[in-house]
Amino acid sequence: MLGPGLPASLEEVVGQLRQKLPRSADLVVRTLHRGQLGVFYISSLIDQDRLQRSVLAPLQRLGGRAATPQALLDIVPLGSVQVTRALADLIDGLLSGWVCLVLDSQKQAVLVQVDATPQAAEPQREYAVVGQQAAFTEDFNTNVALVRKMLPDSSLCNEALSVGTRSKTRLSLLYVRDIASEQNVNSIRQRITDLEIDSVTNISVLSHLIDDNSLSVFAQMMLTERPDLVTYALMEGKIAVLLDGSSLACLAPCTIWDFMKTSEDYNMRWNLALFVRGLRVFAMLSSTLITALYVAALTYHYQVIPINLLDSLIESRLRVPFPPLYEALLLEVIIELLREAGARLPTKVGQTMGIVGGIVIGEAAVQAGFTSNILIMLVALGALASFTAPNYIFGMVIRLLRFPMILLAGWLGMLGVMFGTAFLMLHLLRMTSLGHPYLWPLYPLRWKNWREALLRIRMPAYAHRSSYGRPEDTQRFSAVHAREQHDIDE
């Protein structure tokens, strides 16, 4: 038998359970038979129907006559049962969806498996080729269960709160007790309980209500539909918020780099993942600037373009009657219209519309002499690049940023683009997420944390947990073992 055994009295068992699984709102503790029998389970992991029919109903009929574990086993019509004397077994059982029956003064527990398989949805917004094909649903319990199934750890806390004076929407605060910093948990709990609002219907509304800077276009809390991303985040010391009726989880604190990560970055081999992540960051950067640079160069600084390239540029613009600024704005608006129309239509119609928009309008615009080929290529490239953003909202931000940049470029040339960039830098430097710097680890500079926050390198390098959010347990696995090296033929 491993670890401490079960105490004799039922009250003590309950006390120790509450101590080992603190702040677990879904831990149910019931006593039956005038305090002789304790029934414990984690409600989000349990198939309520089976629990009712196969465990609770027979126990009720028994009415206190069973004084031994054997008698309990006899009346439960289920296959997976187990008798244990260890508290650790009992907790592991609870966390994997078993019901625990504990008799007073017996020092034994009967575990019965009545777990439910959470019905996950298909990921729609954050698809991954390599990786889990599960997404959160609109059912609250299923969402909690999805996280609990991936992380059956007794330190995983699940605090129940509610928000909205009229809607009284249920809300769950998930975090790993000995990793997430207490300060972050307190501050997010404080922000939620301080809210005075009649109703909150969606988690994105909630995240706007509790973020640091509501004026910024950048989201400071990440919304994701993937339970695996939530699990990674919890292991990094982040806090997840689940709201009843929302199929997204909200993660905080977040850096800007978190919005550029996909779950595939973790699932692919490190060199592939590093390449793809680099490509993605480059795509997002160039998507913001590429059209603006074109406008600036063609309007004010044609000298920077080598003569051969300038030739083909001039040739393609020969019939275009507008200055580059208007030409670029026109095309950018068309692309945005296409995207918006595509988002509002069902998939099948959307495809047709993509063809109409992309090929017909694009081709016709060049034929009619409205725009140049080269600009169509650049704008399309920029749009394509912005769609590589793993997070839909972040992709929107990238696309929105292009417009002020293009306007600045048309107005002040390269200098305007630099003014925009400088403003963006200052803005990002001033931003915080739950009080933590948004550009970390680029600034404040933490070289050691680049490997998990910016880069993706081989697993042994990840022995230390990322220090963002100041986690309490700083080690993921033994770094000594990871550093072991052998000579040839040894």
Contact region for other proteins (CB under 8 A) — 60-68, 188-196, 212-220, 435-443? 435-443
Q: Is 267 helix (H, G, I), strand (E, B) or coil?
A: helix
Residue of the chain from 275, 282, 392, 443 that contacts other proteins (CB under 8 A): 443
Residue of the chain from 22, 63, 444, 460 that contacts other proteins (CB under 8 A): 444
Q: Is 367 in the site for other proteins (CB under 8 A)?
A: no
Q: How far is CA 305 from CA 142, 294, 298, in A?
A: 57, 10, 9
Q: How far is the CB of 297 from other proteins (least distance, A)?
A: 8
DSSP state of 19: H
414 vs 455, beta carbon nearer other proteins: 414
What is the C-alpha separation between 337 and 259, in angstroms, rounded? 24
Q: Is 269 in the site for other proteins (CB under 8 A)?
A: no
In contact, 159 and 172? CB cutoff 8 Å: yes
Q: Is 430 in the site for other proteins (CB under 8 A)?
A: yes
242 vs 408, beta carbon nearer other proteins: 408
In contact, 145 and 44? CB cutoff 8 Å: yes
Residue of the chain from 415, 455, 463, 482 that contacts other proteins (CB under 8 A): 415
Residue of the chain from 123, 227, 413, 469 that contacts other proteins (CB under 8 A): 413
What is the C-alpha separation between 431 and 216, in angstroms, rounded? 8
Q: How far is the CB of 301 from other proteins (least distance, A)?
A: 5
Distance of CA 461 to the CA centre of its chain: 23
Q: Is 135 helix (H, G, I), strand (E, B) or coil?
A: strand
Backbone angles phi, psi at 304, to 5 degrees: -75, -15
Residue of the chain from 300, 370, 394, 468 that contacts other proteins (CB under 8 A): 300
* Beta-ladder partners of 252: 239
79 vs 306, beta carbon nearer other proteins: 306
Q: Is 239 helix (H, G, I), strand (E, B) or coil?
A: strand
Contact region for other proteins (CB under 8 A) — 71-79, 102-110, 206-214, 301-309? 301-309
Q: How far is the CB of 399 from other proteins (least distance, A)?
A: 23
Residues 6+ apart with CB under 8 A from 139: 119
The tokens 């790993």 sit on which residue? 176
Residue of the chain from 197, 309, 359, 384 that contacts other proteins (CB under 8 A): 309
Residues that bind other proteins (CB under 8 A): 300-301, 303-306, 309, 413-415, 417-419, 421-423, 425-427, 429-430, 439, 442-445
